[in-house]
Structure 1
């Protein structure tokens, strides 16, 4: 996994919810995003710059983040993101501290390789799941999960249950379809003509 450098500042939590809302609103107005760091000895409330996280959030790649808070560097992953429903602006980020001997669950992008037999026969290859949820030690998580589709025939699907990656446990439903070769009109026409 690639590493991303990010600077964060600790923030105080207000006693009343009205004060808390006011503080968060002021933080967001100041181009900062409230965040919480879980997984350590204690939960840490912090804020990060909206511009600093742009390269971390708006990308298909996954990262382990070197998060610097008050001079201390902690290895984390992005656990959860909350977006504003209308503007799609980032409202909140949850980070999870990682260590060498505790597995984490993270979504990893899927990449297809090869030329499916069904595509050669006139079908269309579709990717149904762009990411798969995996559980593993963060040091063993690859940047992407590469799936070979050479033997995928016309009208056939590849499900999560048929996949295996060394050192990774797939957390998605076993019967979930990852990719499929769908029949196109041209392929149906060719089949009908061949059947006559």
Structure 2
């Protein structure tokens, strides 16, 4: 079993927001001039809630790793909601956050797309033997306990040999998580470079030479 140690978020981000009752392009521009960002929360069968966030604060958190899988306690008019970022719109030049979509978290499990980190790929056994580490999946979709959503899935591949594939069935996911798809799939491979011999090829040639 390939070891996996996804970084589980032990702390929930606390943010404050304000309700908004004015909509449209003009209202959004007025909010941004005031240093705020329009946003919306929806899902879980609830009526969507339109809010605004402090621009500098939300941009700061967005620029941190794996913001899109960050659990958030959002306080609106003294009431707290557990939410998850769904989509973020950025300014095309400055990368300042312009709009955020959040989803309510009411169910016990949540479908999440998280990044995959391949730990030790530069020093993997197969790479040392002349192979090339080929990433097939940079993100995977998981079904996770809402209280244990990982920032990422980190996989230790230092012992991965040449001419092999890393398959989903060999991955030990963080507690409370599973792949959404039950069908086995490949996350990464180590393939031989042109002119490089795989271990199996080397053994075969040695055997033939000894005949």
Name the TM-score, length of structure 2 as normaliser: 0.72
1:81 touches 1:93 (CA, 8 Å); kept in 2?
yes
The 10-residue stretch of structure 1 (150-159 or 52-61) with the greater mean CA deviation from structure 2 = 150-159
Structure 1 residue 34, shift from structure 2 partner: 0.8
Tell me the equivalent position of 1:27. Answer: 31
Question: What are the Cα deviations for residues 16-56 of structure 1, in whole angstroms up to 9, with x where unaligned?
Answer: xxxx1111121122221111012364211001112111232
Tell me the equivalent position of 2:144. Answer: 136
Question: What are the Cα deviations for residues 38-80 of structure 1, in whole angstroms up to 9, with x where unaligned?
Answer: 2364211001112111232112234211111111121111112
1:160 touches 1:172 (CA, 8 Å); kept in 2?
no
Question: Secondary structure of the residue that 1:56 maps to in structure 2?
Answer: helix
What is the total number of aligned residue pairs between the two structures?
187
Name the TM-score, length of structure 1 as normaliser: 0.77
Consecutive unaligned residues in structure 2, runs of 5 or more: 1-8
Task: Tell me how far apart the structure 1 counterparts of residues 26 and 16 of structure 2 sit (CA, whole Å).
Answer: 23
Question: What are the Cα deviations for residues 142-188 of structure 1, in whole angstroms up to 9, with x where unaligned?
Answer: 33312232453224332445535253232369566422324345xx2
Tell me the equivalent position of 1:120. Answer: 128
* Higher RCO (C-alpha 8 Å, min separation 6): 2
